[in-house]
Structure 1
Amino acid sequence: MIRSRLNSANFEFIQEVGHGAYGTVFKVRLKNGSLDYQHGEPQSYYVIKRIHMKNLKESEKVRQEREAQTMMRLNHPFLIRCYDAFSEGEYLSLVLEYAEEGNLDAFIKRRRDQIGGIKQSELMRICWELCEGVAYLHAKKVVHRDLKSTNILLARNKQVKIGDFGTSRELHGEEELMRTHIGTPLYMAPEIISRKPYSQKADIWSLGCLLYYVATLKHPFQNTDLLSLYFSVLHERPKMLEMNDKVPAAFAQTVMRMLSRDANSRPEAKDIQEEKQKELDWRVVSIK
């Protein structure tokens, strides 16, 4: 059972910003005070994800509450923060950090329309913020299971915020494997498609697909129907990332390793961080 000092009366509901199968997302303002400070300033806005629990199966209700409890335990600059959660009648509400710049997919498409694609400095920053966020999750034994461009949000300074933990899973042992067929097909690891047991390395595949897409605005596998897509993932190799003035060689090689069909051949997220520090000349710069 979720218990909290907050309820809906503490918030001013400004507008609906999203709607899905499980409920509705609202932009809100806390009527008094602030739950957190961003860059030395009080956070002005939040998001409330309101989940309608009445018609959910009991197992799904448990999963939704588990998601809230998991998110409240996570605290990292590259993850959407969950400040609180509360139950009211038929609804479970999560109080989340507001990412005012929208999602990564919309951002890179704007860059494509404006200047033909994102800059190398932007690519490198987004890449390593994503890797650091995933490394933190895996260190906490959390597997996201649905990393994709629309689930990556951007804060005011374009800082990456990994969001939507609705399909995430918290592991309880070093060798624990998962079996649920879950995720988004364009980002789904071969072992999930094959309905084999899988580990955190499924997230690394999804992250590789995501970085490939950010760099090229193309998915590594682009078949138009689901069966052809699954066949390509299981039996073909994606086109090698072309190294150019935007895509350094070390970055391209790392992404292709992440897209190895053999899960054991994929790097750990923490290993990618170490490679970044040793091999890549990158600078954290402000994205204008």
Structure 2
Amino acid sequence: MIDLGDDYEVIGVLGQGSFGSVWKIRRLEDGLFFACKSVVYSGMDQQHKEQLVTEVNVMRDLQHPHIVRYIDRHVDKKNGTLHIILELCQGGDLAKKIRDRKRQGRLFSEERIWQLLREAALALNDCHAKHLIHRDLKPANLLFGQDDQLKIADFGLCKELKARDALARTKLGTPLYMAPELVQYKPYGASVDLWSLGCVAHETAALAPPFDEKNAEELKVAILSHSIRNHIPSSYSQLLKTTISKLLHPNPKARLSAADLLSTCNQFLLEKLDCVTSSWSQQQLLSFIQERKSNLDDREKLLDRRERNLDERERKLILREKAENSILVSKTRQTSRTWTQAADQENNFLQKEAESTKRRRRA
């Protein structure tokens, strides 16, 4: 069991991985639930420690409705563990949803796939605008929060570039979703995330990844030769198949960007809305718009409440930090006074000893 001090109560384990464990926790001051990713850093080399620091800094700075929200961190120096406290996504991950659909023999609706693509594109567009590459997009890292909205998680392998068109060189990621330029150890940019998203979209539609060879060498050959094993069912539109194909373009310069993908998703969803609403009466259309507006108003109020909670928590953290600094200053002054008193005593002793020596010599 992890120790988070007096601020949180540990409810139970949500999952485990090579990095450590994820726990469900409750904040005692307001009863809200969160996820806690616990990473043991004591045995890490310097490179992995730096990557862990990067993950925390990136998560703290990213504020987007389709990225898992950073809440706080807690360092357990005694056990060499960093606890990263994050938004709790109760809807599970896309990997489990795909497994469930495959077991049931039920495909995802096309509208749902477009919705997932759009939400992922919104998040990636924000990341790439800030020169960040995720580098490990896969179904297990796509979680679902309130209203079944997609949230990108796990920035443990993310890379911050100096500019939008800069390139990275380190080979990282999950092999099944790795772009050709990564497989070939070539310099790469943000387009590797779009390739990974293309693999995810293909897997969501076909209920199987596009490349699923059994060993690393066969997988590398399949990716480089673009030998897709599991094809997308014919029930899906040509537009969806073409869009996924453009995401899986071997040439990163010809691959869709996040902004391009977002534009295509919006085009499909607007056309779908036009088809649905064309047969509606004016009253039905008005009711639909009012319902959407009400939902948006509710979500805006929820965001306002969260913002106020964050402001209040930040205020308390600042007050706590000031109190700790005050105690530290007080202890420093007390220590300084103690040292001064000790020095004065020593000087007095030396002075008395010198005077005593002089008197003995005169005698």
1:157 is matched with which residue? 147
1:255 is matched with which residue? 244
2:24 is matched with which residue? 27
Shift in alpha-carbon separation, 1:19–1:239, aligned structure 2, 3 A: closer
Residue-by-residue CA offset, 1:222-277 (whole Å, 9 max, x unaligned): 212211110011123426955744x2222211110111111111011011111222
2:264 is matched with which residue? 275
Higher relative CO (Cα under 8 Å, sequence separation at least 6) belongs to: 1
CA distance in 1, matches of 2:12, 2:150: 23
* Residue type of the alignment partner of 1:118: F
Indicate the structure (1 or 2) with the bigger Cα radius of gyration.
2
User: Larger % of helix: which?
Assistant: 2
1:1-288, aligned counterparts within 5 Å? 8-33=5-30, 44-89=32-77, 90-114=80-104, 116-238=106-228, 242=232, 244-245=234-235, 247-280=236-269, 281-282=271-272
| TM-score, with structure 1 as normaliser | 0.87
Cα distance, 1:172 vs structure 2: 1.7
Greater mean alpha carbon deviation, residues 172-181 or residues 208-217: 172-181
CA distance in 1, matches of 2:96, 2:262: 26
Cα distance, 1:108 vs structure 2: 2.4
User: Larger % of strand: which?
Assistant: 1
Q: Is the 8 A contact 1:243 1:249 kept in 2?
A: no
Q: Is the 8 A contact 1:109 1:117 kept in 2?
A: no
Structure 2 unmatched runs, 5+: 274-291, 296-363
Cα distance, 1:119 vs structure 2: 1.9
Q: Is the 8 A contact 1:71 1:165 kept in 2?
A: yes
2:334 is matched with which residue? none
Greater mean alpha carbon deviation, residues 143-152 or residues 59-68: 59-68
CA distance in 1, matches of 2:46, 2:166: 24
- Give me the identity figure in percent: 29
| TM-score, with structure 2 as normaliser | 0.70
Cα distance, 1:27 vs structure 2: 0.5
2:341 is matched with which residue? none
4+ residue runs over 6 A deviation? none
* Residue type of the alignment partner of 1:77: P
Q: Is the 8 A contact 1:18 1:25 kept in 2?
A: yes
Shift in alpha-carbon separation, 1:130–1:282, aligned structure 2, 3 A: farther
2:313 is matched with which residue? none
Cα distance, 1:60 vs structure 2: 1.4
CA distance in 1, matches of 2:194, 2:223: 15
Cα distance, 1:124 vs structure 2: 2.1
CA distance in 2, matches of 1:131, 1:251: 15
CA distance in 2, matches of 1:73, 1:250: 35
Q: Is the 8 A contact 2:40 2:81 kept in 1?
A: yes
CA distance in 2, matches of 1:108, 1:55: 35
Cα distance, 1:98 vs structure 2: 0.6
